[in-house]
Chain A
Amino acid sequence: MAALFYILAAISVISALTVVGARNPVNSVIALVVCFLSIAGHYVLLNAQFLAMVHVIVYTGAIMVLFLFVIMLLNLNKPGGPRKSLAMRLAAAVAGGLLFLTLAAAVRQGVAITPAAGFDPGVGLVRHVGQVLFTEFLLPFEVSSVLFLSAIVGVVMLAKKDKDEAPDPHITGPERARRTA
């Protein structure tokens, strides 16, 4: 089990670094997909099968497909992009290094990393997740569903065609007469 964890952890970290480092955006997306899959693997190791599968379906199967979709349609596959000046890159390196130093110090000085409660192997099973979601966390669950609903309504409002928009110049003949009538 421990060996599996280390392999998955290595894949997660390397793929996450590739997401940031890759020059081609499509490679970044693929690396992010690999990263999500390895995180799903971590969930499975914690016996949270439901979470793992939902994670794969939602993030890998839907959201990343849309990312890839946008990159393909916008033709962002040109590697590179504008090069930053030397001073800019130096400043970025120093700022990033300082942040890393602060984080490392915080982790070293912080409290010992021990689990708050004993591990319950049944915690991630569907039955348990459902029960907790619909009793203890009912309000946040319902509020987030309202959030999603408002997002859907907003997208439909933005994407809806204006009724009194000028007719499409490419449509001519009887079809145009029918549409303008």
Chain B
Amino acid sequence: MTLATALFLLVLFVVTLTVAAYSTYAERKVAAFLQDRIGPDRAGPFGILQPLADGTKMFMKEDFIPAAANRRLFTLGPAIAMITALMTGVVIPWGGELTLFGETFRLQGTDPEIGILFVFAIVSIGVYGIMLGGWASNNKYALLGSVRAASQMVSYELGMGLSIVALVMLNGTLSLGGIVEHQAAHGWNIIYQPLGFIIFLVCAFAETNRSPFDMPECETELVGGYHTEFSSMKLGFFLFAEYTNMFISSAVISTLYFGGYHVPGLDRLGLDPNLTTLIGTAAMFAKTFFFIFFFMWVRWSTPRFRFDQLMNLGWKGLIPLGIANVLITGTVYHLAELWKG
């Protein structure tokens, strides 16, 4: 079993990196589509080798460390960003059970009973990558970028946590596998938690530093924000971590609100269980890819917020809404229990 888990994690690692790499390509293609351009088309047919070309370029660049930078922390920053981005995929259920060679495997690294809290914990550690990287650069713009990142992420974690509280009240479990099973039995959470979903989605944009909330790297004000001084693969790690975070956030959104690997009515077709699982996994990836597309769609359609607007939205908009959502969910849940007798 341990060998199977190790193998699964290796596959997950490769898949995550591949999806993140191709998200950079997709981002350019989506941007081109939305702006009525062609986008990258030189490297390979339709430009599909573009991520490889970009990666090679990143590695070939000079790895420059500013003279006044704190060398150790300057290296540690991108490393933390990348490691934490890759860690959260472990608790996400990518599919149901697969029976191979008479043994049953779950397409999930591990399913701790506090799954969703694990995701939160790792995300909250992830902010250190940006903070330390920005501070160690010894650059005003980088420092401002990292301070913005920290305040933004700490603020939006609250709204995100409140939207999760209502969801957990309904599902009765913190385990991501359990949440998917509950949705398979009682219908997707988006039906019961539309407000919670909107709060979670907005917070996810802020947590991944994606436009319209990409204040930490706002190039019109801060040159490049926290990664101003970074070059070569250190910069590559920061950019890659952003795309990995986007992939994982999309997967978490699909898992929490859109039934994860559950496809309505698939169980009734009487298909081979392994085939059902594979279709479920494909559905999970389709939902995830839709949300990755959604992230890009929003990026190329909306202008950036101002920082004070961002803080106002987080503290005065989303947190009160989140508390109201918890109260409404609790009241309705209790009344429904009374109704049933």
A positions within 8 Å CB-CB of B: 26, 30, 33, 37, 49-50, 53-54, 56-57, 60-62, 65-66, 68-69, 72-73, 125-126
For chain B, give the interface size range: 20 to 34
Q: Is B127 part of the binding interface, using a Cβ–Cβ cutoff of 8 Å? A: yes
- 30 of the cross-chain contacts (CB-CB < 8 Å) are A30-B73, A33-B128, A37-B125, A49-B113, A49-B114, A50-B113, A53-B118, A53-B120, A53-B121, A56-B121, A56-B124, A57-B121, A57-B124, A60-B124, A61-B121, A61-B123, A61-B124, A62-B154, A62-B157, A65-B124, A65-B127, A65-B131, A65-B154, A66-B154, A68-B132, A69-B147, A72-B131, A72-B135, A72-B146, A73-B147
Q: Is there an interface contact between A57 and B128, defined as CB atoms closer than 8 Å? A: no
User: Of residues A26, A33, A57, which shows the largest number of chain B Cβ atoms within 10 Å of its Cβ?
Assistant: A57
Further 19 A-B residue pairs, CB within 8 A, beyond A65-B131, A126-B174? A30-B132, A37-B125, A49-B114, A50-B114, A53-B117, A54-B117, A56-B125, A57-B157, A60-B125, A61-B127, A61-B157, A65-B150, A65-B153, A68-B128, A68-B150, A72-B131, A72-B143, A125-B113, A126-B114
B positions within 8 Å CB-CB of A: 70, 73, 112-114, 117-118, 120-121, 123-125, 127-128, 131-132, 135, 143, 146-147, 150-151, 153-154, 157, 174
Q: Is there an interface contact between B112 and A49, defined as CB atoms closer than 8 Å? A: yes
**Cβ distance B155 to chain A, nearest Cβ, rounded Å:** 10
**Cβ distance A62 to chain B, nearest Cβ, rounded Å:** 6
Task: Given A26-B135, A61-B157, A62-B157, verify A69-B117 contact (CB < 8 Å).
Answer: no
Cα distance A30–B153 in the bound complex, in angstroms: 18
Q: Is there an interface contact between B143 and A62, defined as CB atoms closer than 8 Å? A: no
Q: Is there an interface contact between A72 and B118, defined as CB atoms closer than 8 Å? A: no
Cα distance A143–B231 in the bound complex, in angstroms: 51
**Cβ distance B7 to chain A, nearest Cβ, rounded Å:** 23
Instruction: Report how many A-B pairs have Cβ atoms within 8 Å.
Output: 69
User: Of residues B123, B124, B174, which shows the largest number of chain A Cβ atoms within 10 Å of its Cβ?
Assistant: B124
Nearest A-chain residue to B161, judged by Cβ: A57
**Cβ distance B170 to chain A, nearest Cβ, rounded Å:** 15
Which residues of chain B are near A53, meaning CB under 8 Å? 114, 117-118, 120-121
Nearest B-chain residue to A75, judged by Cβ: B143
Nearest A-chain residue to B119, judged by Cβ: A53
Which residues of chain A are near B153, meaning CB under 8 Å? 65
Q: Is there an interface contact between B125 and A61, defined as CB atoms closer than 8 Å? A: yes
Q: Is there an interface contact between B112 and A72, defined as CB atoms closer than 8 Å? A: no
Cα distance A66–B121 in the bound complex, in angstroms: 16
Cα distance A68–B123 in the bound complex, in angstroms: 17
Cα distance A60–B122 in the bound complex, in angstroms: 10
Cα distance A62–B70 in the bound complex, in angstroms: 24
The 7 closest A-B pairs by CB, nearest first: A61-B124, A53-B117, A56-B121, A49-B114, A53-B121, A53-B114, A57-B121
The contact of A57 among B113, B120, B135, by CB within 8 Å, is B120
Nearest B-chain residue to A73, judged by Cβ: B147
Nearest B-chain residue to A127, judged by Cβ: B113
User: Of residues B73, B128, B143, B147, which shows the largest number of chain A Cβ atoms within 10 Å of its Cβ?
Assistant: B128
Cα distance A73–B140 in the bound complex, in angstroms: 11
Nearest A-chain residue to B126, judged by Cβ: A61
Which residues of chain A are near B143, meaning CB under 8 Å? 72
Nearest A-chain residue to B173, judged by Cβ: A126
Which residues of chain A are near B154, meaning CB under 8 Å? 61-62, 65-66
Which residues of chain B are near A37, meaning CB under 8 Å? 125
Task: Given A53-B117, A61-B121, verify A72-B127 contact (CB < 8 Å).
Answer: no
Q: Is there an interface contact between B73 and A69, defined as CB atoms closer than 8 Å? A: no
Cα distance A37–B87 in the bound complex, in angstroms: 15
The contact of A50 among B117, B131, B135, B151, by CB within 8 Å, is B117
